[in-house]
Amino acid sequence: MCSSAAVNKSAPPPKINQAAKAEPADDEESNAPVEKVLSCIMSAVHVAKVDDILQHRENLMQVLLVSFAPGFQWIVKMAAYSLVKELCSRFDSILNENSGHPSQHDSITSLIQELFVSLSPKVVESIATVKIGQVHIAASECLVEIGKLACRVSALQWADVGYKEELLHLYEVEKNQEAKSHLKKFMAMFQ
């Protein structure tokens, strides 16, 4: 899986001001834009073996968490939503096939729970901070995909959603009807 795109595990995620300065001024020093790296990772996830995805779990989660840093532009967040949806699609297919080893199933379940616990609050936060309807739609679709898988592998309740007040507020103020519909669907999974 795009090993050149792996994040250094020892380095902490960038702070807000570091993420905002992520684009170097000199073109000779510039690296691939973050959204291109995320696209590469998404392609790798699409064709990778399950064991390879699970082997790179920590790097994958680190890249996703960093991608939701407030300093990154909305296009990076859109690429991160696409990557999360691809991961969810792969895991859904694997769980539907019902093949594989029990330890593999346990690892997938654990990663799905980690996606729910770690990423869904970041997705909700990005809906609150980015004021672009397209982002709201993609983010709310991403929440639904994470929620469907999380509910499938564990018995989650509304009390398990630690950001429910913020989510309810976002639902109430959301102007985009498609995003609002997805948010409602996500909240309904836990009631």
Residue 55 belongs to what domain range? 32-188
C-alpha atoms less than 13 angstroms from C-alpha of 74 in its C-beta half-sphere: 13
Task: Domain count for the chain, please give it.
Answer: 1
Is the whole-model pTM more than 0.75?
A: yes
Instruction: Note the pLDDT tens digit of each residue in 92-112.
Output: 988 887 665 677 888 999 999
Instruction: Note the pLDDT tens digit of each residue in 121-157.
Output: 999 999 999 999 999 999 999 999 999 999 888 876 6
> Other C-beta atoms within 10 Å of 33: how many?
15
Whether 178 is in a domain gets the answer yes
Q: What percent of the chain stands above pLDDT 70?
A: 79
Rounded Cα distance, 161 and 188, in Å: 12
Whether 25 is in a domain gets the answer no
Rounded Cα distance, 64 and 159, in Å: 25
Whether 98 is in a domain gets the answer yes
Rounded Cα distance, 131 and 173, in Å: 12
CATH number at residue 115: 1.25.10
Whether 12 is in a domain gets the answer no
Whether 2 is in a domain gets the answer no
